[in-house]
Amino acid sequence: MQKSRKRLITMLSGGAMIAAVGFMPTTPAQAEPSIDDVQKRVDKLYHEAEQAQERYNDAKLELKDLQGDLDSLKADQDRQDDAFEEVRGQVQDSVVRQYEGQSLSTVGQVALSDDPQSFLAQLSTMSAFNDLQSQLFDKYATEAQALSIRQSATEKRAADVAETEKVLAKEKSVVDDKLAEAQAVLGDLKEKEREEMLSRGVVRLPSDVPVSGRAAAAVQYALAQVGKSYVYGAAGPSAFDCSGLTMMAWAQAGVGLPHSSSAQYSTGPHIAESDLQPGDLVFYYSPISHVGMYIGNGMIVNAENPSSGVRVTSLHAMPYVGAVRPG
């Protein structure tokens, strides 16, 4: 074991030395990054920002569901609280009747107790407890337990909402930081070099896409957005992010999609690449963090990144994962 560990340390040390030598420029000219190097760095930053944005979108969907649950629980708790107070009043009236004409000190203690469990404990120790209507007492105990359960559920949902809001703030910060870093890298390039870098991978807009049915409305809308800006979290009309574009495109066909690429991957049957048809959604990276729309002939339209905006490009311009047919 000791020999293996020493051999591993030696290998790692050697690898680190080779890596260091490999990245040491031999001349000042070699220290200048090429356009390809800058392209890779900017693409990486944009992808990291998009991953954070998609996590942000997912958290927004989760927050919406949690908030709906919380609102329902609060309303349910209010109803349960009203039911509890009604039964509580009935029990107190019954106690008063049992002690009518006697000393009211015990009755007063029961009436002053606001905690359901303390109220139950007081009832159980009263000498007249056996004379109470058993059905009424059981109903009170049931309502008190139900109220406690709803209070706990409401508190848990409220904590979940608060935690999800923290996640949203964190992911938004990551998006902003990565975007600022990418813009700084681009700002260091000369204008001509920048135009050359941004023009790479662009495919001319097709004059005709053979598509029919509901998919036609989605494809036509998506293609009409080519040239518009990419903005993280945007869903039109002047700017989009990747899932915002596909969501709005399929909305024109009456199909509702969530504003999240990973969530859209679960909205329809999965389609083999060989069976792709115009309008199908195509997904990229693992975990999924980008979506575009297939338009035929090995091409897609997608909201790509802040430098490229909405454009047409090849199906395999990014690491392809799979496809879904909405509707």
HEC string of 89-151 equals HHHHHHHHHHCCCCCCHHHHHHHHCCCHHHHHHHHHHCCCHHHCCHHHHHHHHHHHHHHHHHH
The vertex-246 CA angle with 244 and 248, nearest 5°, equals: 65
- Helix or strand (DSSP H, E) at 171: helix 134-187
Q: Per the structure block, which two tokens stand in for 121?
A: 């404990």
Domain-wise residue ranges, the chain: 35-200, 203-324
Question: Based on C-alpha coordinates, what's the Rg of the chain?
Answer: 32
- Whether the Cβ atoms of residue 267 and residue 258 lie closer than 8 Å to each other: yes
**Does CATH number 1.10.3470 belong to domain 35-200?**
no
Phi/psi class of residue 91: alpha, beta or left (left: φ > 0; alpha: ψ in -120 to 50)?
alpha
Q: Which of 172, 176, 192 is nearest to 184 (CA)?
A: 176
- pLDDT for 156 equals 82
In the chain, the amino acid numbered 161 is V
Predicted confidence (pLDDT) per residue in 103-125, tens digit = 444 444 444 456 666 666 665 55
> Where is pLDDT greater, at 84 or 110?
84
Q: Per the structure block, which two tokens stand in for 3?
A: 């020999």
Report the mean per-residue pLDDT for the chain.
75
Question: Whole-prediction pTM value?
Answer: 0.56
Cα 280 to Cα 325: distance, rounded to the nearest angstrom: 5
Average pLDDT rounded to a whole number, residues 198-211: 61
Sheet containing strand 320-324, strands side by side = 270-271, 320-324, 281-284, 290-296, 299-303, 310-314
pLDDT over 50 (residue 251):
yes
pLDDT over 90 (residue 250):
yes
**Does CATH number 3.90.1720.10 belong to domain 203-324?**
yes
> Where is pLDDT greater, at 2 or 116?
116
Predicted confidence (pLDDT) per residue in 143-160, tens digit = 777 777 777 877 887 788
